Amino acid sequence: MSDPAGRLQVRIGAAGTTIGSSRPVRAARVFVGKGPAETARLLPALFSICATAQSAASVGALEQAQGLALHPWVSAWRGRLVDAETLREHLWRILLDWPPVLDLEPDAPAMARVMAGFVRLRATLTSGRDPSDLGPFALGMTAVAPEPEAGHRAFPELGALVEERVLGRPPREWLALVRGFDGLAQWCGQTDTPAARLMDWLLVQGLADLGRSEIGPLPELGSDPCLAELDARLGGPGSDDFVTHPVWDGEPRETSPLTRNLSAPLIQDMAVRFGNGILTRLAAQLLEVARIASRFETAEEVRIPEFEARELGGPPRQSLEPGVGLSQIPAARGLLVHRVRVTEGRVKDYRILAPTEWNFHPEGVVAAGLDAMAARSDGPELEPLARLFIAAVDPCVEFELVRI
Amino acid sequence: MCLAIPAKIVSIDPDGQSARVSLGGVTKEISLALVEGVAVGDFVLVHVGYALNRLSEEEAARTLALISEAGMLLDEDLGVNPPLSEQAGGAA
């Protein structure tokens, strides 16, 4: 049986990088013919790696397609759960993928605590019901909200782990110290966690700009003209090509923790020095970990009806036809887009555009970064460094790396 | 995309850190480092060689049915896509 999750095949060498993918980018077609409520219930079971972001995107698109407008606090509630999932996914990279670069063991015991802590946090945030309960992700949300401070009260275990195993200090202190590159360098030199040691090692080895390229970020797609363009690409005859090898304005683009934090002072400062090289990428992931953890640690910032709502789904837009829903969710690895068309109570078309397809485009940011690395050095160190760079951009499937 | 596959645990190593699972008739070794309290016969979600969490037999069957239903649509996708330069026309 082939692995239904698919895999990426990356070939590197002086002759140039090639990237192939067997990811099932058209799997959402399985929902064609099903009802909206059944689709909302089944979809996170199928796309279970980022099930929370997938649920948020799915219900947002389905509600929009059916003209359901929700109170902003529902979006806020969903956003808090997506944040928790993003934290879990970033911690997977930091605890399991980063230590082996320094010949350290993956910190599986800590990651096991993260997994268990996330399950408890999610259960609390879905009114303390069964973890598989849809909670705020039931279509047309009718669930009762958790009490306002539930997220804060369920967080200390994860917060303590972030402090102890990743940042070496409380997230709020880390954010106060690491406002620019100098603060990051100071933190690296003073802290004994694998994350700090890896960043320090990259600096000492002169590898901070590893994989630097000129591939630009995917722009914000919130304006009516952009939504209309996105809708046309996903709903038009070329949609299979678009979800397999997406480009915007004719160019491959990046969507990631790095691109959504380009306005943060730390990332701006690092981009001036290292461009979109590896240290800037890892810093953006750490920044998100610290921000999410610090928000959960502050009761008033995670009160569900009151914290700053992000746009998750929304009312029907004039640029979309009736029956069409288009949602955009900031998932752990980048922008997740769902487009659905519902007619007579049935899904007629369902498309998902995931961040991995942007970032692992055959001419995208990973391909360009690996080309730059191979041009600088084609020696035996290329392969382990290429693995580190690929993990830093973070595909959500296994990858095979081949020297050519 | 972004799938984790339900698989049934058929044996657990004496150290409790790894297990063999049955996945579509093929057995495969996975790490149990991220889950607690699993036993032979349990279903777990598997992702990049790790068991992620336990799920009921009913949930596993439902998810496998969905993957199978999607998979029937995806036969043409299961090969590795060629690089962009080898495709007629390339991407949109």
This model of the complex carries an ipTM of 0.84
Angle between helices A181-190 and A265-274 (to 10 degrees): 90
Q: Is residue B44 in some structural domain? A: yes
The residue written with tokens 């992000």 in the block is: A310
Q: Is the pLDDT of residue B79 over 90?
A: no
Q: Which residues of B touch A46 (CB under 8 A)?
A: 3, 63, 66-67, 70
Across the 404 residues of chain A, what is the mean pLDDT of every consecutive 10-residue run? 80 92 91 95 91 94 86 78 95 95 95 92 72 68 63 82 97 96 97 97 96 97 92 96 97 98 98 98 98 82 47 55 94 97 97 97 98 90 92 92 91
Q: Residue A132 and residue B82: Cβ atoms within 8 Å?
A: no
Q: Is residue B62 in some structural domain? A: yes
Partner B contacted by A366 (CB < 8 A): no
Task: Determine the structural domain holding residue B19 and report its residue range.
Answer: 5-75
**Looking at residues B25-32, what average pLDDT do you find?**
89
pLDDT at A300: 60
Candidates A10, A42, A50, A115: best to mutate against B (most CBs of B within 10 A) is: A115
pLDDT at A297: 81
pLDDT at A144: 58
Total domain count, chain B: 1
pLDDT at A35: 96
Q: Is residue B53 in some structural domain? A: yes
- Report yes or no: A247 and A361 within 8 Å, Cβ to Cβ: yes
pTM of the model: 0.91
Q: Residue A115 and residue B2: Cβ atoms within 8 Å?
A: no
Q: Residue B1 and residue A352: Cβ atoms within 8 Å?
A: yes
The residue written with tokens 């929009």 in the block is: A64
- Report yes or no: A285 and A257 within 8 Å, Cβ to Cβ: yes
pLDDT at B45: 92
Taking the C-alpha atoms of residue A88 and residue A305, their distance in angstroms, rounded to an integer, is 23
Over residues B36-74, the pLDDT tens digits come to: 889 999 999 999 899 998 999 999 999 988 988 887 444
**Looking at residues B30-40, what average pLDDT do you find?**
94
Q: Is residue B14 in some structural domain? A: yes
Q: Is residue B82 in some structural domain? A: no
Kindly state the helix (H) or strand (E) to which residue B45 belongs, with its residue range.
strand B43-47
Over residues A255-303, the pLDDT tens digits come to: 999 999 999 999 999 999 999 999 999 999 999 999 999 988 876 655 5
Q: Residue B83 and residue A19: Cβ atoms within 8 Å?
A: yes
Q: Residue B35 and residue A48: Cβ atoms within 8 Å?
A: no
Look up residue A342 and give its two tokens.
Answer: 């519902």
Partner A contacted by B41 (CB < 8 A): no
Q: What is the CA radius of gyration of chain B?
A: 17
Angle between helices A72-92 and A51-65 (to 10 degrees): 150
User: What is the CATH classification number for the domain harbouring B34?
Assistant: 2.30.30.140
Partner A contacted by B37 (CB < 8 A): no
